[in-house]
Amino acid sequence: MESATLVALLSSISQLIVLLLLSPNSADSNSAANAFPIVNNFLSSHETAAALSLLTLSRKRKRTHFSERESEPDDHDSDHELGGGDSVRLGLSRSPDSFRNCFRMTSSTFEWLCGLLEPLLECRDPVGSPLNLSADLRLGMGLFRLSTGSSYPEISKQFGVSEMVARFCAKQLCRVLCTNYRFWIEFPNPNELDSVSAAYETQTGLPNCCGVIDCTRFKIVRNGGVQEESIAAQIMVDSSSRILSIVAGFRGNKGDSRVLRSSTLYKDIEAGKLLNSPPASVNGVAVNQYLIGDGGYPLLPWLMVPFVDAVKGSPEEHFNAAHNAMRLSALRTIVSLKNWGVLSRPIQEEMKMAVAYIGACSILHNGLLRREDFSALCDGLDDYSLYDQSSQYYRDTSLEENSIERKASVIRSALATKAK
């Protein structure tokens, strides 16, 4: 027998043996019959199966090795073998959008994220019930829950695991992200704030702006689907839609200004811990670092809201136009977060878990931007007013302090002369 034929035969036999050994009941005489559902389950859908086929089904820990090709694969690239000798090779071609549709990221970002989270995902299994699942499979189930919003029974069926395992892996990913990678959402230091404000000034002519603040709501369903309410989340972003601060968990019927005043961001700014760099001089007016907010917020020396009834062609109208342009980055972030499947519909979890989903998706949002992976970022907004909730949550005028607002009005009028 020729050597090439012998090698091919031995390779085929070894792959069959590996497949049988990976069956949950490999010691059983019906191993072959038990192995078939593993493969058949992952072949049950098209794009999802193509992406999931790239996750190892190893009973041991294996690091995934692959790279994403955006161009059309040649004949030799139509099949992908991942992991080592303990992985099941599924001969499926992959479309470039498979990972984006299933996990809202590219395959290279998935591999990078898996490498970061692997020791954290595998270090704490349910007591007395080791899962014996590879890190990429655990990550895949968690991301699939976040990106598609699929229910635990759906994830269980798709990945061939129990509902308990699907739930555990989804919650474990959120716990790991919110505990160990919350630093991906971090208020910038003074040097970084200078870069943030420089970008806004280039865009609109307004100096010393350090970000845009906005508030949005996510629906939540509790008590078996009979009680629906909403959660308010306050975000602060820069011009690239990177989240600089987020706080969630307030009741959704709470107005934007009340959410603001209940947040640590407000308290830290008022205490002089943040936005405390030297002011810029604009027409003789000292302009401290400030944020941009919609009409649902109070006018403060460090928080600029739009003019009401600005005269056409006036500096006030120019300020409002610049203000609207700056707010787009926050609206884009909100829409991008709501494009995560688990946040795009009423969240059927308790409040604590719903807040964890918001936090995990926000952390992933920033992580993807760090890698310049824009898979989960909204492409653009034709009309920002369609996504503007400020008219629904008016500010509480009883909270205003007239002397502070008068000082803020002077600053805003000076800035209006600089608006492009």
pLDDT tens-digit map of 303-336: 999 999 899 999 999 999 999 999 999 999 999 9
Sort residue 407 into left (φ over 0), alpha (ψ -120 to 50) or beta. alpha
Going by C-alpha positions, the residue among 112, 90, 94 that lies closest to residue 41 is: 90
On whether residue 304 sits in a domain, the answer given is yes
Q: How many domains does the chain have?
A: 1
Its domain, for residue 190, covers 185-340+376-417
CA count, 13 A, side-chain hemisphere, 120: 17
On whether residue 84 sits in a domain, the answer given is no
Mean pLDDT score across all residues of the chain: 79
On whether residue 298 sits in a domain, the answer given is yes
Q: What are 412's two structure tokens?
A: 């805003």
Q: What are 167's two structure tokens?
A: 């739930």
Q: Which residues of the chain have pLDDT under 50?
A: 1-47, 50, 56-93, 391, 393-394, 397-399
Rounded to an integer, what distance in angstroms lies between the CA atom of residue 306 and that of residue 206?
13
What pLDDT, on a 0 to 100 scale, did the predictor assign at position 109?
93
Strands 227-237 and 243-251: antiparallel
What pLDDT, on a 0 to 100 scale, did the predictor assign at position 370?
94
What pLDDT, on a 0 to 100 scale, did the predictor assign at position 100?
86
On whether residue 206 sits in a domain, the answer given is yes
**Tens of pLDDT along 208-234?**
999 999 999 999 998 777 788 999 999
What pLDDT, on a 0 to 100 scale, did the predictor assign at position 122?
87
Neighbouring residues of 166: CB distance < 8 A, sequence distance ≥ 6: 141, 145, 152, 155, 156, 159
On whether residue 402 sits in a domain, the answer given is yes
What pLDDT, on a 0 to 100 scale, did the predictor assign at position 80?
27
Question: Considering the entire predicted model, what is its pTM?
Answer: 0.77
What pLDDT, on a 0 to 100 scale, did the predictor assign at position 130?
81
On whether residue 64 sits in a domain, the answer given is no
On whether residue 14 sits in a domain, the answer given is no
Counting residues of the chain whose pLDDT is more than 70, the rounded percentage is 72
What pLDDT, on a 0 to 100 scale, did the predictor assign at position 325?
94
On whether residue 42 sits in a domain, the answer given is no
